[in-house]
Chains A and B, each alone.
Chain A
């Protein structure tokens, strides 16, 4: 029963990946749409970033003094200047841990 659902979810997910790559030819999209598609990363990833920071495991907003906000800000600053993915992630995590284990403890 669950396996059937997993298979359907898998087919659906595969269709989301395949449709635009295999079934739509690039010529079907006009120049205006192509120009808008340039913004896809900026238009999609904040929908993963913002809830990941501002909403907790229980689906409610965090307090404004939550360590995740500080960690994210440090990650933005370090990422902006270092242009390095590992430095960005580590800086965010370490500053977050510093607050939860050292400062707030």
Chain B
């Protein structure tokens, strides 16, 4: 049985390699916001209030491009709707927590934290304080994201654009799913999602980001039927 502190530390360690892509991306996000002409305080407020990577850039780009606030807010909601799926997966492990604790822990659920904590949860179901792993991944992500976006806002884009560091984001997610390429059913689900995302890329409100997972999960349900 691991202690709360050990689980928290494990969570921190499990997510920290992803900071290699998260920190440059955060700096870029902060710098873009200021370059688009928004007040630095507003750009930073997003990291605190929305705390959602790419959705923050989309929000500012839409507003600066003349879109209405309603469109910008709706796009953020749709881009981030994938968290509903993460929550559905995590709820199994967080069931025993009090309602207040569930409300608090929800704020720090992010892509990479979900991915790493979910992997840990699957292999350590019997641990009593499992949620401390999620707190570890979420808090690490939160602190790094705040510092990274703040430095981007204050110092500007000191990360040279020629390096194309935005490319680190798909790479970080490749690192998350690459081991599942061993399983044919997962490969089929991944390809379905990937191709759908390209096919629906121009769908309104960036909705490809939730349309393609839904299609891929339908395919997963079909595969489960065939397996039986």
Binding site for B on A (CB under 8 A): 1-10, 12-14, 16-22, 24-26, 29, 32-55, 59, 61, 68, 71-72, 75-76, 79-80, 83-86, 88-90, 92-93, 96-97, 100
Contacts and interface: CB of A to CB of B under 8 A. Distances in A.
A57 B216 CA distance: 25
Contacts of B63: 2, 5
Nearest to B225: A32
Nearest to A9: B76
Contact of B170 (A5, A21, A41, A48): A48
Contacts of A75: 171, 174-175, 178
B20 A22 contact: no
Identify the interface centre among A9, A86, A88: most chain B CB within 10 Å of its CB.
A9
Interface residues of B, number: 90
Contact of B195 (A10, A16, A50, A88): A50
10 contacts: A6-B50, A16-B84, A24-B87, A39-B217, A44-B213, A47-B208, A79-B174, A85-B20, A89-B21, A92-B167
Given A9-B59, A85-B18, A89-B21, A17 B209 contact: no
A12 B216 contact: no
A32 B202 CA distance: 32
B175 A49 contact: no
Contacts of A44: 82, 85-86, 193, 213, 216
A76 B39 CA distance: 40
Contact of B194 (A10, A38, A46, A76): A46
Contacts, number: 270
Contact of B55 (A13, A35, A59, A97): A13
Q: Which secondary structure dominates chain A's binding surface?
A: helix
Contacts of B95: 25-26
Contacts of A46: 173, 177, 190-191, 193-194, 197, 212, 216
B193 A36 contact: no
Given A2-B38, A42-B189, A89-B17, 5 more contacts: A10-B46, A17-B83, A44-B82, A45-B111, A72-B174
8 smallest CB-CB distances across A and B, nearest first, come from A20-B87, A52-B170, A10-B49, A85-B17, A43-B216, A46-B194, A50-B194, A18-B106
Contacts of A35: 224
B9 interface: no
A3 B76 CA distance: 14
Given A29-B88, A39-B216, A17 B171 contact: no
